[in-house]
């Protein structure tokens, strides 16, 4: 029995037909794969980023597969731009069902050398932007009594590595924000969950992947013995966005090849 404004039941509980999704930081890497997966499941996907050329290329690739996509280029740190973007989506498309807070950044620097500005920059993009985007997105979701918020956390929401103190701290905080939003908005038919990717092959991890010592460590430490491929995050995202996860909220879903469960 569907309650709280969920879309009408369909034969496929994983279908996102007729829904609208905004994926931040989706011009490349994991965000691009997430956007492609949601579009493939039937959603109209609004891709976001600051690199106009990369964003256009992502939209074209999705469109070339006969999938539905549009572009919203804005800086997730800009509160005015965030409000305008959400308002534009509602004005143009009439609804917003799914928000994927994926935009993120990190600095690799020893803790004693980290500047306050470095720390703040990581928090502004990886946490404060998620707060603002969710705050705007829940307004139309509450009106429809249905919505899905998915935050891109990390295995560093649970474990730590040296040299990325701000990133580890902010991903722990994002897991906490996910649970807080889940509790507050469940009565309004909105779920909030997080993905916690392990190490995937992307531009952002190129330096680590090309480091033989780290590559060997990761393969030895991960039960599956390899890096993840970006497309392997798609299924988990579709699940959390879909009717199949209608009773799942406040969960941080690891997609890490077993990294965080192995000693």
Residue 228 burial (CB count, 10 A): 21
Instruction: Identify the bridge partners of residue 190 per DSSP, sorted by sequence position.
Output: 147
Helix, strand, coil % over all residues of the chain, rounded to 5? 50, 15, 35
Residues 6 or more apart in contact with residue 198 via CB below 8 angstroms: 155, 222, 228, 254, 255, 256, 257, 259, 260
- Are 156 and 208 in contact by the 8 Å Cβ rule? The answer is no
Q: How far apart are CA 250 and CA 183, in angstroms?
A: 7
Q: How far apart are CA 149 and CA 21, in angstroms?
A: 10
Both structure tokens of 189: 């038919």
Q: Which of 36, 38, 150, 167 is catalytic?
A: 167
Q: How far apart are CA 79 and CA 251, in angstroms?
A: 27
Give the chain's length. Answer: 263
Which residue from 178, 218, 184 is spatially nearest to 201, judged by alpha carbons?
Answer: 218
Q: Is 199 a catalytic residue?
A: no
Indicate the helix (H) or strand (E) that contains 255. strand 252-255
Strand order in the sheet with 147-152: 69-72, 44-48, 20-23, 98-101, 147-152, 190-197, 252-255
Query: Which residues does the annotation mark as catalytic?
Result: 167
């Amino acid at each position: 029995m569907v309650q709280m404004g969920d879309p009408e039941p369909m034969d496929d509980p994983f279908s996102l037909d007729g829904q609208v999704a905004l994926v931040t930081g989706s011009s490349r890497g994991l965000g691009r794969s997430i956007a492609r997966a949601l579009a493939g499941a039937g959603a109209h996907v609004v891709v976001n980023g600051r690199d106009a050329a990369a964003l256009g290329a992502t939209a074209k690739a999705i469109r070339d597969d006969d999938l539905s996509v549009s572009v919203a280029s804005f800086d997730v740190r800009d509160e005015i731009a965030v409000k305008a973007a959400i308002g534009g989506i509602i004005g143009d498309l009439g609804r917003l069902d799914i928000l994927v807070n994926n935009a993120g950044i990190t600095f690799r620097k020893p803790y004693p050398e980290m500047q306050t500005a470095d720390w703040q920059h990581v928090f502004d993009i990886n946490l404060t932007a998620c707060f603002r985007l969710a705050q705007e997105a829940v307004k139309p979701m509450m009106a429809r009594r249905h919505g899905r918020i998915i935050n891109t956390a990390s295995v560093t929401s649970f474990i730590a590595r040296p040299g990325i103190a701000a990133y580890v701290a902010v991903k722990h905080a994002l897991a906490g924000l996910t649970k807080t939003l889940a509790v507050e908005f469940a009565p309004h038919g909105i779920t909030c969950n997080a993905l916690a990717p392990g190490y995937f092959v992307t531009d952002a991890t190129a330096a680590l992947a090309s480091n033989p010592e780290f590559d060997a460590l990761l393969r030895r430490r991960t039960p599956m013995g390899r890096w993840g491929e970006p497309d392997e995050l798609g299924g988990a995202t579709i699940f959390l966005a879909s009717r199949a996860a209608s009773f799942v909220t406040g969960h941080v879903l690891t997609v890490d090849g077993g990294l965080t469960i192995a000693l």
